[in-house]
Structure 1
Amino acid sequence: MWKQNREYIANLLEFCIKSKSHKDGKLLHARIIRTGLCSQTFLSNRLIDFYSKCDNPKYGLHVFDVMPERDVFSWNSVLSTLCAVNRLQDACLVFDEMPQRNVVSWNNLISAFAKNGDHGKALEMYGSMISEGLVPTHFTLASIFSACGVLLEIDFGRLCHCLAIKVGADQNIFVGNALLSMYAKCKCIGDAIHAFEEMAAPNEVSFTALMGGLKETRRVEEALEVFKLMHKTKACIDAVSLSSILGVCTRREGDDGLQRKMHGKSVHSVSIKLGFHNDFHLVNSLLDMYAKNGDMDSAEIIFQNMSKPSVVSWNIMIAGYGEIYKCEKAMELMGRMVFSGCQPDEVTFINMIAASVKSGNVKVGRQVFDKLVSPSLISWNAMLSGYSQVEKHDEAIMLFREIQFRNVKPDSTTLAIVLASCAEMALLECGKQVHAVTLKANLNSDVYVGSCLITLYSRSGEVDIAKSIFHGLPEVDIVCWNSVIAGFSHNSREKEAFNFFNIMRRRNMCPTQFSYATILSCCAKQSFAFQGRQVHAQILKDGFINDIFVGSALIDMYCKCGNVEGGQEIFDAMPMKNTVIWNEMIHGYAQSGFGGKAVHLYDCMIREGRKPDNITFIAVLTACSHSGLVSEGIRIFESMQIDYKVEPLLDHYTCIIDTLGRAGRLNEAEMLIRRMPCKDDPVIWEVLLSSCRIYSNILVAKRAAEELLSLNPRSSTPYVLLANVYSSMGKWEEVRKVREIMHDNKVGKDAGYSWTERNNELEGSQSYCHDWEVSNCLG
């Protein structure tokens, strides 16, 4: 009778647990106490479980405290209760006091640490469990794979995968999904696909995890194929899986946006067909997809049909208009948001700042920023980034000072942005102060900050300091390597740049487009033809040959090394040619004296609908100047403003003055100079004065020399050039007078340098010219 009564009450308690009937369960608890059954360990265990499941753990813990006898189930029940209410410290104390522990005990604690984000502790507990000889269950392994995915502990995860196969837990759907998710998060997509294929019956979680992994590794078509397979196998397609595939359909830089949008529209149609078009999370995913693809018309239709947009919905729309440079529309939306009663959050303000910056209106962005009563570091960084993007580096530095005055602790992003601004403005002392802040904040070892420090010191000529910073970093990524190599190149230390580039490759660090462009620039500057060809071979091997920046650097290298045909081959082979590529080839022809080919290529560029820029005109006008193509030069120069609305700069004027001067049209050149907005630049007059020697025009030469001396009396250039004019006419007495004036004014002549390549090595020589009668040495 007693036993039947106990089993009857136990069954009733089980029913209360399943139905979460808190009131009935408490009545049963009272009956247990009245009938003297509270000494029954079995019933007490059920009571602890009941109170835990009914969200009243305090009563359950009290039951445990008054139990006369406890078994392993009692301890596990209270341990589970403490874990459920996130009292992990108390749970650890209970765990340590347990007279006997089983797999359930370990699972409770491991799972609790994993769910609360302490994944490292979860892995540590798992190691202790294995060392005690216990065999993990599918619950254990699911938690461990989840922890490995978050921590990117792929090696440890693989070991656990082997153990899962050994104990036969790999076929469990929860373990399989956790394993698949781990490989996807660690971007081991091949292993993730294999894990998916090994699953007997993948569910919607499996498909969603695999699609997410494919999305992160930019394998868009494969992700869409997985979605099609999911639909074909009649797996349950829910709002989460639809949201995941919509994330695949958002355009990224360099992607085919039209193709992505078409896929997104197809998924949109499926969501309507399946009746998920009113799911709030999915609707926001649709908004995000259309906004990121620049289709704000479609986004507006969805947004207008929302009964009550959330702050997330408003933020997506504001960010979307910012992406297409419609700051006014973004501001209008923010006003509507406030009017509708939806309170903007910090993300709203950050999106608004970004929209203003992208539209070129940093002033509006600052006004939005100033409305923040207590901006977080993310907001400060957004505003700093805005100033940096529009090259208002002085404003960025001033804002950083304000950050310090407000005692806001900077992070690596803050310091990297302000260091980049210091580098752009060549403010070495200011940069050193920021460097001190990085040391104080213990962020000097951050690779992002480190690469910016390397750039700062390199651009300021302190290459050795930059090199010591590089060597002092505990870990260096490709950005750091690129920064130090670019620093050597910037300071004309090409041999060291090559050494670092070779060391980088030996350490299995894959060069990027920037790496190759920088090292090719070194080859071009020093005419390292042999090394340039070697780099070209490596570029072909690594698959960067069609990259625009690498292609332009190759063209520049071959042309500067005297191999214009090699540059032409690269140009012809480029599948996509932007203005940079056209400019580089035109400039290559100009440098090599092929003026006719340069002008012809320029005309081809125009016929193909390409719009020339400042650099294009400098290149083609240089070609006209060097090859004596006067009429073509004048035609192109006049078309700058008339046809292409490009305002001539000093370099353009210099080219056309040189063209006129070489053709002997010195008076026209002088008249043009006097009409120029930049006539006070000495370079223009130097070009004119040099041309006077060829045509022995002493009158124009004297006027040009007078202008130069008025601009810079200490320069030796006007004296030397004027002496050249006199010597070309055989007026040696005048040459002597110029030399005497130079001597009396204590003006000295600069040394000249020459470079040659011998046995793939660079050799240099320095010379001074003292023979004023040898005109080739003068100037």
Structure 2
Amino acid sequence: MPKWNQIPRASWGVFHSQLLLQSPKLISPASVCLIFTLSTTDLIQDYIHDGNINAARKLFDENPASCNTVAWNSMITGHIRHNQMQSAHELFDKMPMRDVVSWNTMLSGFNKIKDPHKLHQLFLQMNKAGERPNQFTFSTIISGFLNTFDVLVPQLHSLILHSGLHSNVFVGSALMRGYTHLMDRSSLCRVFDDILTKDISTWNALLVGYMDLGFIADAQITFDMMPELNIISWTTLVDGYIKNRNINQARHMFDKMPQKNVVSWTAMIKGYVQQENYTNAIQLFISMLNSNTSPNHFTFSTLLDACAGCSMFLLGNQLHSCILKSGLCQELVLSTSLIDMYTKCGDIKSAFTIFDSMKTKNTVSWNSIIGGCARHGLAHQALSEFKKMTESGMKPDHVTYINVLSACVHGGLVKEGEHHFHSMVERYGVEAEMKHYTCMVDLYGKAGEVDKAVRLVKEMPFEPDVDT
């Protein structure tokens, strides 16, 4: 007799199947098949829950006949969790039968990787397949369409009304976010009124909507009317006042908060940094530490922005030590803030040390190091980093080109500046803005090529400002 507590969890399915197959009088063959299918599905789900995607996929591939729709859905979910979207999509395409969970899982995956176009295509495919969307479908696609397909929100609203899901909390909250993006106050309120049983998340969505649309008085009235408040409600109100440039009222409400977490502390600190009130930001950070609230990478990033803004090198260095001790040094946002802080405080060597140690770089981190080189007069180094950036497959944006052209101005590199100014549109589709033209005029002026500067000002698609 085996000792039951010594049998590995992953072996239970196989053990049960062998035991049942050896005892045909105990159970029918059809029931054995069903139990084996359930056991395989359970094992796959256990492997995925434990993060062992390879073992789950091996078991899945070795037992195709015993894998039901739940097993397929679980396997797709596992691939998505491990950022293996292509594998998830390939598996989805091979599914013999799909249910609404299958479609919702794939939609959530495309939403996770911020691909609204594939999200849209899959939703159309779902409708053509005759699968009826549910509340999770609509909440996912509305969330995924924001900033790209905002105009589809009213059409989705019509489908939701037709499906009878307009009173659902999840769908209603998603629609409210959609109409907030469309700056449609009346539709925002109408959706809120249609939700029959409003929970705190619904009220918070209305609060966010009013603040984002600039209706501060309505937001405060909503806050005062809410049947219950949580820390999200308070933080939303504080953050809303900050976004509407009412820092004093934001601080007043912040001080009244019955409870504060790292998010609320960071929001208030960031508000001061955005107002360039660095002294209050640093004092509030000290109060945060005294309250025994541990800062996260967003808190440190905000404080580093304050240090960069007022060139507080010593404090920035101390924060760097705290970050290393906290084990957050590999955070992309934080590493980028450290680069920006060191370049603006004059330590380009430390900035490069951090930049070179980064395992992953994004456009913002490349912009920080290129801009830092430009500020330090290292024109050729800036152009060299720009070349590395493009060769790595990273697409530059308008900030990248402002930094590149600024480097050309500092180095007097007229030909290089002209090349990059013309190639930004032709190669990367980055339209020249006023700051790009200002850099070029400055470049021509310092090189003594006044005629070119005057010609460029006349060719600008907009009226020149004082800087130009």
TM-score (norm 1): 0.51
* Cα contact 2:47–2:53 (8 A) shared by 1: no
Larger Rg: 1
1:400-459 Cα distance to aligned partner (Å, 9 max, x none): 22234547565443444454455555x2xx03312211221134x311122221111123
Q: In structure 1, what is the equivalent of residue 156 of structure 2?
A: 368
Any residues of structure 2 matched to 1:114-263 within 5 Å, and which? 201-202=4-5, 207=9, 227=10, 230=11, 234=15, 238-239=39-40, 241-242=42-43, 244-245=45-46, 247-248=48-49, 262-263=54-55
Q: In structure 2, what is the equivalent of residue 716 of structure 1?
A: none
Change (3 A) 1:551 1:451: same
Query: How far apart, in 2, do the equivalents of 1:548 and 1:287 lie?
Result: 28
Question: Aligned to 1:438, which of 199, 212, 223?
Answer: 223
Q: Deviation at 1:321?
A: 6.1
Question: Aligned to 2:201, which of 409, 413, 416?
Answer: 413
Number of residue pairs aligned between Structure 1 and Structure 2: 434
The answer to whether structure 1 residue 350 and structure 2 residue 139 are counterparts is yes
The answer to whether structure 1 residue 285 and structure 2 residue 74 are counterparts is yes
* Cα contact 2:176–2:191 (8 A) shared by 1: no
Larger relative contact order (Cα-Cα within 8 Å, sequence gap ≥ 6): 2
Query: How far apart, in 2, do the equivalents of 1:362 and 1:585 lie?
Result: 34
Q: Deviation at 1:245?
A: 2.4
Q: Deviation at 1:387?
A: 5.4
1:123-160 Cα distance to aligned partner (Å, 9 max, x none): xxxxxxxxxxxxxxxxxxxxxxxxxxxxxxxxxxxxxx
The answer to whether structure 1 residue 489 and structure 2 residue 273 are counterparts is yes
Query: How far apart, in 1, do the equivalents of 2:120 and 2:50 lie?
Result: 25
Change (3 A) 1:602 1:513: same
Q: In structure 2, what is the equivalent of residue 330 of structure 1?
A: 123
Q: In structure 2, what is the equivalent of residue 592 of structure 1?
A: 376
Q: Secondary structure at the match of 2:160?
A: coil
The answer to whether structure 1 residue 623 and structure 2 residue 393 are counterparts is no
Any residues of structure 2 matched to 1:4-15 within 5 Å, and which? none
The answer to whether structure 1 residue 504 and structure 2 residue 288 are counterparts is yes
1:654-674 Cα distance to aligned partner (Å, 9 max, x none): 111111112222221111111
The answer to whether structure 1 residue 466 and structure 2 residue 262 are counterparts is no
Change (3 A) 1:346 1:559: closer
Q: In structure 2, what is the equivalent of residue 605 of structure 1?
A: 389
Change (3 A) 1:345 1:580: closer
Q: Secondary structure at the match of 2:129?
A: helix
1:280-318 Cα distance to aligned partner (Å, 9 max, x none): 54344345445664322211222xx23xx5444454455
* Cα contact 1:630–1:659 (8 A) shared by 2: yes
Q: In structure 1, what is the equivalent of residue 429 of structure 2?
A: 645
* Cα contact 2:176–2:192 (8 A) shared by 1: no
The answer to whether structure 1 residue 517 and structure 2 residue 301 are counterparts is yes
Change (3 A) 1:267 1:464: farther
* Cα contact 1:246–1:286 (8 A) shared by 2: no
Root mean square deviation of aligned Cα: 3.1
Query: How far apart, in 2, do the equivalents of 1:681 and 1:405 lie?
Result: 48
Query: How far apart, in 1, do the equivalents of 2:361 and 2:307 lie?
Result: 23
Query: How far apart, in 2, do the equivalents of 1:434 and 1:246 lie?
Result: 46
Corresponding letter in the other structure for 1:403:
V
Corresponding letter in the other structure for 2:149:
N
Q: Deviation at 1:505?
A: 2.5
* Cα contact 2:211–2:219 (8 A) shared by 1: no
Query: How far apart, in 2, do the equivalents of 1:231 and 1:407 lie?
Result: 46
Q: In structure 2, what is the equivalent of residue 583 of structure 1?
A: 367
Change (3 A) 1:243 1:643: same
Identical positions, percent: 25
Corresponding letter in the other structure for 2:66:
F
Query: Structure 1: which 5+ residue stretches go unaligned?
Result: 1-199, 208-226, 251-259, 688-779
The answer to whether structure 1 residue 528 and structure 2 residue 321 are counterparts is no
The answer to whether structure 1 residue 301 and structure 2 residue 90 are counterparts is no
Q: Deviation at 1:519?
A: 0.2
Corresponding letter in the other structure for 1:332:
Q
TM-score (norm 2): 0.82
Corresponding letter in the other structure for 1:331:
L
Corresponding letter in the other structure for 1:298:
L
* Cα contact 2:44–2:60 (8 A) shared by 1: no
